[in-house]
Amino acid sequence: MLVQNFVFSAGNRGKPISKELRINSKIRVPQVLVIDEEGRQIGKMSVSKALEEAQARNLDLVEVRPNAVPPVCRLMDYGKYKYQQSKSERDNKINRKQQELREVKVRPKIDDHDFEVKVKTVLRLIASGDRVKITLRFRGREIVHTDMAQDLLKRLFESVQHVATITQKPLMEGRQMIMVLAPKTGAAQAQSKAVAVKAEEKTEEKAEEEP
């Protein structure tokens, strides 16, 4: 029986490898090196003896390194392993969120309240794992004040730099300046959700205080 799946080899313990594998009676070599279900080396033996060892433990004999000399086989509950591997792949697929590029638009002349709202929005998007394109649009003669626009984008980044990193520095594209941010990896990204929630609560409190 030939099977296509992932399995752990003795020399690659803990790392899945993908190959076409033979199991049990379909292993047709005179001698194999056997690894037990705990990853310990049992030793070299004939395939028939290895099959007896597998049957005695109510396990399968799986050829994990057919090109080794002699081929390496591992004892495992292959049906259980395939189920766990399939379940893990499904869970990973569910948990894996495709990173999107979201846009936040700002104007060169923005008051403090609106600026805090934009910061809160960026934090929320970063917390969700998305990249954020900050688009600063110019109108009329505003375009002559690109230095002020750069200062604004710099100020915005400094407000979120604990959870975000710049993947595209501010660049002019026609009558707009664009900067792209992405979530930081590691601990900073893990903290971004809490930061976003806190920023949202702060904004809501200020809104309630306003007449």
Min mean pLDDT across 13-22, 92-101, 133-142 is at: 13-22
Q: Does 101-209 carry CATH code 3.30.110.10?
A: yes
Compute the average pLDDT of residues 23-38: 91
Q: Where in the chain is the domain with CATH 3.10.20.80?
A: 2-92
pLDDT at 200: 54
- At residue 81, φ and ψ (nearest 5 deg) are -65, -45
Cα(22)–Cα(4) distance, integer angstroms: 9
| pLDDT above 50 for 11 | no
Q: Tens digit of pLDDT for each residue in 118-127?
A: 999 999 999 9
Sequence-ordered list of residues with C-beta below 8 angstroms from that of 160, at least 6 positions apart, any chain: 119, 122, 123, 126, 181
- What is the rounded average pLDDT for all residues in the chain? 80
pLDDT at 164: 94
**CA–CA distances in Å: residue 149 to residues 110, 122, 152, 193:** 11, 17, 5, 28
Q: Where in the chain is the domain with CATH 3.30.110.10?
A: 101-209
Half-sphere exposure in the Cβ direction for 203 (13 Å, CA) = 18
| Helices (H), ranges, the chain | 47-56, 78-95, 112-127, 146-160, 187-209
pTM over 0.75: no
Q: Are the C-beta atoms of residues 169 and 179 closer than 8 Å to each other? A: yes
Q: Tens digit of pLDDT for each residue in 174-210?
A: 889 999 999 987 544 444 455 555 555 555 555 444 4
Assigned architecture for domain 2-92: Roll (3.10)
Q: Name the residue type at position 113.
A: H
Q: Which residue would you say has higher pLDDT here, 199 or 148?
A: 148
